[in-house]
Amino acid sequence: MDLRIEPGERVLLLGPSGAGKSTLLAALAGLLAEDSGEREGSVVVGGRAGVLFQDPQTQLVMSRCGDDVAFGLENLGVDPAEIWPRVDEALRAVGFRYPRDHRTDALSGGEQQRLALAGVLALRPSVLLLDEPTANLDPAGGAAIRAAVAAALADRRTTLVLVEHRVAEALPLVDRVVVLEPAGGVRADGTPEKVFAEYGEQLARAGVWVPGQPLPRRRGGRPGPQLLAGEGLTFRHPAATHPALSDMDIEVRAGEVLAVLGPNGSGKSTLALLLGGLLAPTRGRVVASPALAGVDAGTPPHRWRPRVLARRIGSVFQDPEHQFLTNSVRGELTLGGASDVDELLSRLRLDKLAAANPYTLSGGEQRRLSVATALANAPQLLVLDEPTFGQDRRTWIEMVDLLAALRDEGRAVVTVTHDPDFVAALADRSVTLGRSR
């Protein structure tokens, strides 16, 4: 690939999942490891690059939020008198609502994303590299991040290279669109108007998100009996001053897709872990029906044996890397005892990556693999945390179709999501959590 970006340009990188968008950002940031693969060519960057990764946990390094934003400034040798004013300015810009001394390990995924972006903006880089900066944020949070980025770019002295699947919302930030070709090189390059007018339908068929292209709706029938219920669920992390989730009642029924919505920090991921039997509630209880619990009727899911739990309830974490255990994509599925490994690989477009190490996959590919591992045991209930994160248009539609088929077979699906299109396409019912702290 040959690509030149002029100072002050604002570029949106598009392409199907696995086309190399995140790899290109890593190259521009000078962060491709020596052992990451064969490399040819050169990268020249004018000035200092600041990068926000797909996974914010990979760049949070301090235990307190203010210290984390100050870390980069200290390493650059910024005058100590300037550091804390710049930290506070960056935290305000991204709408971060906690004090400097708040612990980083007490943040939700979306809150981590805001903090990581604050750390990048505080550096005032010449080149701002953003890899899906709003992927884990609620709509209000996404709007706040885009406003913060727009303010950082206002003087036209900062160059922007952005990877974002929420294309329609991102367009006001950019003046150029570059579409990467999975086989190598650039498929399209120009203004947003020119690229989408000339290549829109072709790009949509290839899996690129194109504004205005219709998406499917997969409505279900009448739901079946209750499989799982949460009664007065409350969970407080050790040493936390407020509960992550408080007094939550919820019902999960067979043959139904239930969407869990709410702002960042409202306890959605905590609820997913409680329903999945991966956390014990501080107060309240999770009750499984006899049809789901079998011989363990009367015993809460968090006390089931791990292998039994995996056969009954499949969980997909917000961070897919937290559930990989082997050194190959195929190994992840065979470890779970899947009898239809090849079918799962093909259905989720992972067949050509069967021998790859899970940690070398793109964010979208890792998400699909995490879904496949949860399906490997054919559970009756599937609990998914942000299942459409990092998906291109084609794999997004395939994910919707796959989950709709499971629902129509009588299985239950609970999905934590900030994706309104996903909710519109698939959800039979939704519950919205409010902030618990």
* Region label for 156, one of left (φ > 0), alpha (ψ between -120 and 50) or beta (otherwise): left
Side chain identity, residue 342: D
**Which pair of tokens denotes residue 256?**
């139904």
pLDDT digits (tens, 9 = 90+) for 190-207: 999 999 999 999 999 888
Max avg pLDDT among 19-33, 123-137, 414-428: 414-428
- For residue 437, pLDDT over 60 is answered with no
- What's the confidence (pLDDT) of residue 376? 85
Class level of CATH domain 10-206: alpha beta
The encoded tokens of residue 161 equal 């290279």
Higher pLDDT among residues 123 and 95, named by residue: 123
For the question of whether the overall pTM of this predicted structure is more than 0.85, the answer is no
Amino acid 93: pLDDT: 86
Query: What's the pLDDT tens digit per position in 109-122?
Result: 778 888 999 999 99
Alpha-helical (H) ranges within 37-94 are: 65-75, 80-93
For the cut 70, the answer to whether the pLDDT of residue 263 exceeds it is: yes
By three-state DSSP, how is residue 240 classified? Answer: coil
Distance (Å, whole) CA 146 – CA 153: 11
Task: Give me the pLDDT at residue 138, please.
Answer: 81
Q: Which residues contact 399 (CB under 8 A, 6 or more apart)?
A: 348, 368, 371, 387, 388, 391
Q: Of residues 348 and 225, which shows the higher confidence score?
A: 225
> Average pLDDT over the chain, rounded to whole?
90
Give the pLDDT score at 436. 52
The superfamily in CATH containing domain 226-432 is: P-loop containing nucleotide triphosphate hydrolases (3.40.50.300)
**Amino acid 35: pLDDT:** 73
Q: What is the mean pLDDT of residues 13-29?
A: 88
Cβ atoms 112, 104 nearer than 8 A: yes
Q: Which of 418, 423, 436 is nearest to 143 (CA)?
A: 418
Contact criterion met (CB below 8 Å) for 114 and 92: no
What is the reported pLDDT for 22? 86
Give helix then strand counts, H and E, for the chain.
Answer: 15, 14
Q: What is the pLDDT of residues 222-258, one digit of tens each?
A: 999 999 999 999 999 887 778 999 999 999 999 999 9
Mean pLDDT of 326-353: 86
Contacts of 33 (CB under 8 A, 6+ apart): none
Given a cut of 80, whether residue 336 has pLDDT beyond it is no
Domain ranges of the chain: 10-206, 226-432
Predicted confidence band at 54 (pLDDT cuts at 50, 70, 90)? Answer: confident
What DSSP string describes 145-208?
A: HHHHHHHHTTTS-SEEEEE-S-HHHHGGG-SEEEEE-TTSSEEEEE-HHHHHHHHHHHHHHHT-
Rounded mean pLDDT of 269-281?
96
Q: What is the C-alpha to C-alpha distance for residues 435 and 246, in angstroms, rounded to an integer?
A: 10
313 DSSP β-pair partners: 381
- 201-222 mean pLDDT: 90
Q: What percent of the chain has pLDDT over 70?
A: 99
Contact between 251 and 223 under an 8 Å Cβ cutoff? The reply is no
Of 384, 383, 389, 344, nearest to 365 by C-alpha is 389
